[in-house]
Amino acid sequence: MKISIDCAALWTGIGLCLLLGACASASAEPSSQIQEAERQATERKVPPLTDAERDRLKQALAPKLSRSSRGLEATRTRAGTYRIDLHRQFQHMTVAVRDADGKVSQQCVSTPEELDQLLRDKQARDRRRMGSKP
Amino acid sequence: MSAQYPTRPSSLSGAIIAALALMAGHSHAKATFVVNNIDAAGVGLNDPTPAVPVGGNAGSTVGQQRLNAFQYALDLWGKAIDSAVPIVVEASFPDFDCTTGVAPLGRASTTSIQFYIPGLLETKPGLEPSVLYPEALADRLAGTDLSPGDADITAEFNGSVSSCLGADWYYGFDGKSGENFDLVSVILHEVGHGLGFSYLPDPTTGELFYMDMPDPYTRHLLDNSTSRHFDVMTTSERLASAGNVRHIVWDGPYVTQAVAAYLAPGAPNLTVNPPIAGLFGALLEMNYGPHVPAEPITGPLSVGNPVDGCATLAGLTGSIALLYEGNCGEMNMSKRAEVAGAKAVIFVGESTITPPKSSVEYAAQYLNAMTWAIPTVQLSKTEGDLLRGAVASGVNVTLAANPTQRVGADPSGKAYIYASVPTTITSSLSHWDPLCRPNLVLEPAATLDNPRDLTMETALLRDIGWEPFCGNGRPDATEECDNGTANSDTAPDACRKDCTKAKCGDGIVDSSEQCDSASDNSDTLADACRTNCVKAKCGDKVVDTGEQCDDGAANGKAGSCGTDCKLPSTSSSSGAPGTTSSGGDSGCGCKVQSTQSDHRSWLMLGLLVLALRRVRRVYSPRRTGAASRSIGRKEPAVLFRLRNGGWTCLPWRNILERVCCDH
């Protein structure tokens, strides 16, 4: 899972680390780098995914992920084999998600159900990170 | 790596021609990929927006950089697999449907499935009857494009990523994508599916794809708890096994070999005492802190307070801390647990899918900010809740790495294929298990290191039929050499077309050989090239043209053939008859010699007549009184009485030759 750093958390951690003296290398971290990461993450925070957006997206993308062969036909090729055109279904799809707190992850989904689960997981994270703990 | 690649905006044949032209520049590629760019002018792969070269990608426009990244990823695949048939990838960069915070990055699949039915059609060499193959693999096995004009793989990537995600594509080749999305990684991953790293049966019904026919991928999927392969399972068995977490493995020989060579040893295992019903213990490793050590870490399970570890923790001394996902960063909660005396941390993520599709990772610059002395592992929320429910009654947890088990493989060394529960939602059986160490290209979720190594993926594709073949330009396991198109059965010293090294006996005179007549090489026939590819010569124990005799190493010794392979003029021994061997047809040109009508011929003829008067036929030693000796092929021979009182024994043929040749 690719995660863009939660900068407030990072500062907390680094502060804790320094107080405990457990990480001498922390002080060597260029502060400008951390500040830049914080600025970028703040800029990239997004609003939570709504149910309507989730349903619309699922409806648009799910057909490509269909894994049912019903309705597909085999046609004979000149070479003597049979060929079943998948009509751009049976695809595998990498989906990137940016959570409400700015964290990003990428997953490959292969079924409409898998896509739906991915979107619902994002909604759950968004709700929690926006303040409502489970 | 050249940044300029030809494309085919308009016609497939043009792309193939371009690809064939490219082959000279990619002589080490085993398979040639053709990018069939179907984008319209000015958009997608033809986007003319100026771009700054990045990460080795020298394209000067966005479209060119996309195309370069595409070809770079395909070339990585091209070096990994073999096909004599160009693999055509229909590529485009359309604007995908997306919403703020969610966007597809890319998608791909084989365009079609091929098969043939025995009895109805002629045999198709390379294709097994009634077996389903993805298009590119079918072409590769048949050695020809079975559907000319049709692409083998369709691949689309999102041309409007930044509008929904606030970050854009990274087009560099070096994987240093930072906050952006690494296009090469996504292409590598999705094209891998298109090549055949894909489970074909319907995951919701368990039915095989078509007419109950198997496919090579399903044949190698094994449930190691039932020892049943997915192609022979019933639909209900298939559905049940799809959720058999950490029991679905790949049993192909190439992958099993790659597991031993590529995956790290030390698979982490979690056990609890007393056991908890329904707990798989399907953990993942974080990319920070130490790995689970071989020396077991055992302790009572304690739930953190606060449970998300976002404030100072206490009372964890000697325990295994159970912490849930919060808003303060996983690496911080792990540090707090360590400070509070925990031996290890079990982090419970938000996902209810077991095992999770990915573990928490932090980029290197953040990892450098602190160090951890205790390991942190990750469980799904479902499994975490099971553990949490058992804490009140007391449960001990043990974490230990098995040094003989590879990380991402079962104890027998077979790689895990990602199987998860709930089955119908997530278990597509088309990825490695995310536990694998190192990270792999075809794990279910992208990893921060953007892996490029295709060792494991190549092994899997070989198991389903993408086996290496002679002529791919790279010596494979069973080959002595392979110089691709330079392999030759006529050029001296060349690697032969069967990928064996040039050698004596292959019919070609190589630099270290005097001759080579292939199967006609002989150590017994006169004048033949010898089996060590040396020309026939005096001393090889075969009487060749121009030789009267040849006793090999004995030539020149008393009673033997001369060193010049001539019969000694006074071949003799004082007390016993000398011998020579006579092999083969050793004519020395009597006809020519006989034309010399000088006086010596007449003289010698007279001498012969005189000699004949003194001869005794030697069919029987008793008759001659001489010792029994073998003379050539039991030809008629005569004993000569020599002037010194000794005897010599010569076959008739040699006597006649002496008459002809010497005189």
Distance (Å) from the alpha carbon of B209 to chain A's nearest alpha carbon: 6
- Dig out the tokens for B580 from the structure: 């020579």
Confidence label for B584 from pLDDT (cuts 50, 70 and 90): very low
Q: Where on the phi/psi map is residue B308: left (φ > 0), alpha (ψ -120 to 50), or beta?
A: alpha
Average pLDDT over every residue of B540-563: 92
Q: Which of B18-27, B169-178, B468-477 has the highest mean pLDDT?
A: B169-178
Confidence label for A42 from pLDDT (cuts 50, 70 and 90): low
Confidence label for B587 from pLDDT (cuts 50, 70 and 90): very low
C-alpha dihedral, B262 to B263 to B265 to B267, nearest 10° = -170
In the block, residue with structure tokens 């296009």:
B183
pLDDT at B568: 77
Residue in chain B closest to A91 (alpha carbons) equals: B109
The answer to whether the CB atoms of A9 and B190 lie below 8 A apart is no
pLDDT at B578: 37
pLDDT at B175: 96
pLDDT at A37: 52
pLDDT at B26: 35
Reply yes or no on whether the pLDDT at B522 is more than 50: yes
pLDDT at A46: 82
Average pLDDT over every residue of B14-30: 40
Reply yes or no on whether the pLDDT at B173 is more than 60: yes
CA–chain centroid gap for B516, Å, is: 33
Task: Decide if B140 touches A, using CB distance below 8 A.
Answer: no
pLDDT at A36: 53
Nearest to B459 by CA among B445, B433, B440, B475: B440
Confidence label for B656 from pLDDT (cuts 50, 70 and 90): low
Distance from C-alpha of B456 to C-alpha of B472, rounded to nearest angstrom = 20
Average pLDDT over every residue of B8-29: 37
Confidence label for B13 from pLDDT (cuts 50, 70 and 90): very low
The answer to whether the CB atoms of B430 and A20 lie below 8 A apart is no
Reply yes or no on whether the pLDDT at A56 is more than 60: yes
Low-confidence winner among B15-24, B291-300, B445-454 (lowest mean pLDDT)? B15-24
Which is more confidently placed, B477 or B229? B229
Reply yes or no on whether the pLDDT at B558 is more than 90: no
Reply yes or no on whether the pLDDT at A24 is more than 50: no
Distance from C-alpha of B358 to C-alpha of B444, rounded to nearest angstrom = 7
Confidence label for A74 from pLDDT (cuts 50, 70 and 90): very high
Which is more confidently placed, B608 or B249? B249
pLDDT at B288: 93
Burial class (CB in 10 A: 0-12, 13-18, 19+), B514: middle
Q: In what helix (H) or strand (E) does residue B157 lie, and over which residues does it extend?
A: strand B153-157
Question: Residue B622 corresponds to which amino acid?
Answer: R
Count of all residues that appear for chain B in the document: 663
3-state secondary structure of B365: helix
Average pLDDT over every residue of B80-94: 95
CB pairs under 8 A between A and B: 269
Distance from C-alpha of B359 to C-alpha of B597, rounded to nearest angstrom = 104
What is the pLDDT of chain B when averaged over all its residues?
A: 84
Low-confidence winner among A27-31, A79-83, B166-170, B538-542 (lowest mean pLDDT)? A27-31
Task: Decide if B602 touches A, using CB distance below 8 A.
Answer: no
Reply yes or no on whether the pLDDT at B629 is more than 90: no
pLDDT at B342: 98
Which chain A residues touch B142 with a CB distance below 8 Å? 79, 81
Q: Which residues pair with B118 in a beta bridge?
A: B121
Query: In this structure, how many other beta carbons lie within 10 angstroms of the beta carbon of residue A46?
Result: 20
A64 DSSP assignment: G
Reply yes or no on whether the pLDDT at B495 is more than 80: yes
Confidence label for B468 from pLDDT (cuts 50, 70 and 90): confident
pLDDT at B653: 55
pLDDT at B425: 62
pLDDT at B575: 37
Which is more confidently placed, B381 or A102? B381
Low-confidence winner among A57-61, A85-89, B591-595 (lowest mean pLDDT)? B591-595
Task: Decide if A82 touches B, using CB distance below 8 A.
Answer: yes
* CA-derived radius of gyration, chain A: 22
Q: Which of A4, A60, A82 has its CB closest to that of B114? A: A82
Task: Decide if A11 touches B, using CB distance below 8 A.
Answer: no
pLDDT at B588: 37
CA–chain centroid gap for A120, Å, is: 11
Average pLDDT over every residue of B329-345: 95
Distance from C-alpha of B163 to C-alpha of A122, rounded to nearest angstrom = 18
* Contact yes or no for B344/B321 (Cβ under 8 A): yes
Reply yes or no on whether the pLDDT at B663 is more than 50: no
pLDDT at B609: 55
Count of all residues that appear for chain A in the document: 134
Which is more confidently placed, B472 or B266? B266
Condensed to tens digits (0 to 9), the pLDDT of residues B409-423 reads: 999 999 999 999 987
Average pLDDT over every residue of B10-20: 37
- Dig out the tokens for A35 from the structure: 């500040």
Distance from C-alpha of B634 to C-alpha of B207, rounded to nearest angstrom = 80
- Dig out the tokens for B649 from the structure: 């024994």
Average pLDDT over every residue of A94-104: 89
Distance from C-alpha of B46 to C-alpha of B183, rounded to nearest angstrom = 16
* For chain B, domain boundaries: 12-196, 266-397, 552-662
pLDDT at B286: 94
- Dig out the tokens for B434 from the structure: 């995310």
The answer to whether the CB atoms of B370 and A22 lie below 8 A apart is yes
Reply yes or no on whether the pLDDT at B15 is more than 80: no
Q: What are the contacts of B498-505 at 24+ separation with CB within 8 A?
A: B498/B470, B499/B470, B499/B471, B499/B475, B504/B531, B504/B532, B504/B533, B505/B531, B505/B533
Nearest to B605 by CA among B651, B663, B653: B663
Task: Decide if B474 touches A, using CB distance below 8 A.
Answer: no
CA–chain centroid gap for A58, Å, is: 14
Which is more confidently placed, B661 or B564? B564
Low-confidence winner among B307-311, B432-436, B611-615 (lowest mean pLDDT)? B611-615
Can you say whether the dihedral through the CA atoms of B598, B599, B605, B611 is positive or negative?
negative
Average pLDDT over every residue of B404-413: 98
Average pLDDT over every residue of B57-77: 97
Reply yes or no on whether the pLDDT at B125 is more than 90: no
Reply yes or no on whether the pLDDT at B70 is more than 60: yes
Of chain A residues 111-130, which have a CB less than 8 A from chain B? 111, 113-114, 116-117, 119, 121-122, 124-126, 128-129
pLDDT at B604: 58
Confidence label for B261 from pLDDT (cuts 50, 70 and 90): very high
Distance from C-alpha of B171 to C-alpha of B68, rounded to nearest angstrom = 8
Which chain A residues touch B199 with a CB distance below 8 Å? 110
In the block, residue with structure tokens 């490509």:
A64
| CATH number corresponding to B266-397 | 3.50.30.30
pLDDT at B422: 86
Average pLDDT over every residue of B152-170: 95
| Interaxial angle between packed helices B455-464 and B62-80, expressed in degrees from 0 to 180 and rounded to the nearest 10 | 60
Reply yes or no on whether the pLDDT at B642 is more than 70: no
* For chain A, domain boundaries: 1-44, 46-134
Residues 6+ apart with CB under 8 A from B119: none
Q: Which residues pair with B647 in a beta bridge?
A: B573, B641
Can you say whether the dihedral through the CA atoms of A55, A56, A61, A67 is positive or negative?
positive
* Contact yes or no for A114/B428 (Cβ under 8 A): yes
Which is more confidently placed, B338 or B631? B338
3-state secondary structure of B325: coil
Reply yes or no on whether the pLDDT at A129 is more than 90: no
Residue in chain B closest to A29 (alpha carbons) equals: B369
Task: Decide if B163 touches A, using CB distance below 8 A.
Answer: no
Residue in chain A closest to B208 (alpha carbons) equals: A69
* Contact yes or no for B355/A36 (Cβ under 8 A): no
**String of DSSP letters for B397-459:** EEEEEEEEEETTB-TTSPEEB---BSHHHH----SB-TT-SS--TTSSB--TT-----HHHHH
Q: What percent of chain B has pLDDT over 90?
A: 69
Confidence label for B473 from pLDDT (cuts 50, 70 and 90): confident
Which is more confidently placed, B635 or B581? B635
Parallel, antiparallel or unpaired: strands B344-348 and A104-109: unpaired
Reply yes or no on whether the pLDDT at B490 is more than 50: yes
Residues 6+ apart with CB under 8 A from B663: B600, B601, B603, B604
| Interaxial angle between packed helices B62-80 and B183-195, expressed in degrees from 0 to 180 and rounded to the nearest 10 | 50
Nearest to B183 by CA among B54, B282, B362: B54
Distance from C-alpha of B24 to C-alpha of B19, rounded to nearest angstrom = 9
Reply yes or no on whether the pLDDT at A125 is more than 90: no
Distance from C-alpha of B552 to C-alpha of B161, rounded to nearest angstrom = 83
pLDDT at A97: 94
Output the pTM of the full model: 0.75
Confidence label for B383 from pLDDT (cuts 50, 70 and 90): very high
The answer to whether the CB atoms of B339 and A20 lie below 8 A apart is yes
Which chain A residues touch B115 with a CB distance below 8 Å? 74, 81-82, 84
Condensed to tens digits (0 to 9), the pLDDT of residues B305-315 reads: 999 999 999 99
